[in-house]
Amino acid sequence: MAVETKQELNPKTTHFEFSGPVGAFVLTFGLPLLVNVLCVCCTKEGCSLAPSHIIAQWKKTPFLTAEVYKVYLLWLAALALADLIVPGQIVDGTELRNGQRLKYKFNGTRVIAILGALLLSRGVATNWQLPELQFIYTNLTQLANASIVTSFAISTYLYISSFFGNKLLALGGNSHNVFYDFFMGRELNPRIGKLDLKLFLEMRPGLLLWVLIDLAMVHHQWLTYGRVSASIVLVTLFQGYYVIEGTFYEAGLVSMIDTTLDGLGFMLVFGDISLVPFTYSLQTRFLADNFVELSWLQIALITGVYLLGIAVFRLSNNEKNKFKQGKTNPGEYTYIETKTGSKLLTSGWWGMARHINYTGDWISSWAYSLPCGFNLVPYYYVVYFGVLLVHRESRDEAKCAAKYGETWTEYKRRVPYKFFPYLL
Ligand code: NDP
């Protein structure tokens, strides 16, 4: 590869997303507020977003005590250590703009097995009255605030450290505007020693805490009512499966747009460690204190929605991964060859809609909220996730249009639907 100057390799960002620096500023302070509000809004009387209710809850809840922050930092440190020392599968990343290919270690299933064994042994030792899970229930808002404070701290470190050394910057995070670049992330793949911060934050502290929060809510319901509802069990199983199954396929992360395109800044850090665990668990938070009974028919219908969504999500993602790795049989699929050498599938799942995998993911999000019945706030996830995926689709569309040019236009002609075949 020809030697490029620093400026050629890291050009200044001129195209802005999220309405530019103003939007980035509003999101940097607005999203943490949303997380905090969603943490305090559910009580035994259901969930309410009325300002008077939220203010009353804030008055009762300390922002963050040293004890809770210590526990949160311990959680982060233990997972970082596990990431470093637990052996795993070594995978080559995609080729970067500077011609480099990073190596990644994926040990998610082993880390989950260790965590599961620890939890199980604590459960047996305490006769299933786990103080750790009760701690999570009691201090949920403080733990969320700990994650918010940590997101700001990590993002500040990342922003400052991106100016030192010969760093490869994200094309979208080098605008020279401090608020915008802080939010979008300047450096593409920051690492501390062997710890890849982006993949670590994306896969460990937030996703695993999401599952732990769900378990803490089930545990609390069991302690309170002496039994657990089918509704909370369903949500916990669905979300737990989504997270654990995701770690089986985590090697696929090397080609995700988060890894290849986005810088690591507040948007990803906060999304990974704060927004995901503390708002995606809103349904079990509601159900922990509100016992919702479901009939067998309702259980069957909700499970059907989940299975449909997860099947579309997993089968379509696997099909694309298999095709990209050249593991499909000749003639099995139709595709278009692009000038970069990559191929775009035009049959199978990817012949139905250009982001059929997002559709599957969104369908399963309904199964997380439906067990909450008619209380509207837990449906936040369906709305938020829908907005996230529509926005993500438009970013990916812009990336592919720039990368593949005419061929992408031809691909869109052959596969005209974005999400739902014959509809949208
Ligand atoms: P995709 O897995 O859809 O990857 C998009 C990329 O795939 C494109 O940029 C292009 O990359 C390639 N591609 C697009 N169309 C084709 C085709 N027809 N044939 C071959 N390659 C194609 O997107 P994401 O990385 O955004 O998402 C991965 C999964 O993660 C999704 O299922 C999504 O739902 C899920 N997700 C979940 C989130 C959550 O919070 N739960 C958040 C974000 C994502 P290339 O340049 O390589 O050609």
Tell me the DSSP string of 79-118. HHHHHHHS--EEEE-PPPTTS---EEEE-HHHHHHHHHHH
User: Over the chain, what is the mean pLDDT?
Assistant: 95
- More confident of the two residues 276 and 257: 276
Q: How far apart are CA 61 and CA 274, in angstroms?
A: 18
Query: Which two three-digit tokens encode residue 255?
Result: 């080609």
User: What is the pLDDT confidence band of residue 75, given thresholds at 50, 70 and 90?
Assistant: very high
- 4-50 pLDDT, tens digit per residue, is 566 688 999 999 999 999 999 999 999 999 999 999 999 999 999 99
Average pLDDT over residues 186-192: 97
Question: What proportion of the chain, given as a percentage, has pLDDT over 90?
Answer: 88
pLDDT at 257 over 90: no
Q: Is the dihedral of CA 145, 146, 151, 153 positive or negative?
A: positive
pLDDT at 1 over 80: no
Q: What is the DSSP letter of 140?
A: H
Q: How far is the CA of 370 from the centre of ligand 1 (A)?
A: 26
Best substitution site from 31, 244, 320, 389 to test ligand 1's pocket, by max atoms within 8 Å of Cβ?
A: 320
pLDDT at 340 over 90: no
Best substitution site from 254, 261, 273, 361 to test ligand 1's pocket, by max atoms within 8 Å of Cβ?
A: 361
Q: How far apart are CA 301 and CA 314, in angstroms?
A: 20
- Name the H helices within 162-290: 178-184, 197-203, 205-225, 230-248, 257-260, 266-270, 276-280, 282-289
Q: Which of 208, 194, 206, 197 is CA-nearest to residue 110?
A: 208
Which residue's CA lies nearest to atom 37 of ligand 1? 361
Burial of 172 (0-12, 13-18, 19+ CB in 10 A): buried
Q: Which of 287, 183, 180 is CA-nearest to residue 238?
A: 287
Q: Which residue has the tokens 């302070």?
A: 29
The answer to whether 133 touches 220, Cβ cutoff 8 Å, is: yes
Which residue's CA lies nearest to atom 39 of ligand 1? 385
Q: How far is the CA of 247 from the centre of ligand 1 (A)?
A: 16
Residue 5's pLDDT is 61
28: CB partners within 8 A, 6+ apart: 179, 182, 183, 266
128, 211, 222, 226, 244 from 122: Cα distances, Å = 8, 16, 17, 19, 20
Which residue's CA lies nearest to atom 22 of ligand 1? 344
R_g of the chain, CA atoms, integer Å: 22
Burial of 105 (0-12, 13-18, 19+ CB in 10 A): middle
pLDDT at 2 over 50: no
Average pLDDT over residues 285-290: 97
Task: State the number of CA atoms in the 13 A half-sphere of 328 facing the CB.
Answer: 17
Question: What proportion of the chain, given as a percentage, has pLDDT over 70?
Answer: 98
The answer to whether 232 touches 287, Cβ cutoff 8 Å, is: yes
Q: How far is the CA of 387 from the centre of ligand 1 (A)?
A: 16
Residue 6's pLDDT is 63
Q: How many helices (H) and strands (E) does the chain have?
A: 20, 8
Q: Which of 223, 175, 208, 360 is CA-nearest to residue 277?
A: 208
Q: How far is the CA of 256 from the centre of ligand 1 (A)?
A: 6
Residue 252's pLDDT is 84
Which residue's CA lies nearest to atom 46 of ligand 1? 400
pLDDT at 281 over 70: yes
Q: Which of 159, 160, 148 is CA-nearest to residue 29?
A: 148
- 88-145 pLDDT, tens digit per residue, is 999 999 889 888 899 999 999 999 999 999 999 999 999 999 999 999 999 999 999 9
- More confident of the two residues 326 and 383: 383
- 394-417 pLDDT, tens digit per residue, is 999 998 999 899 999 999 999 999
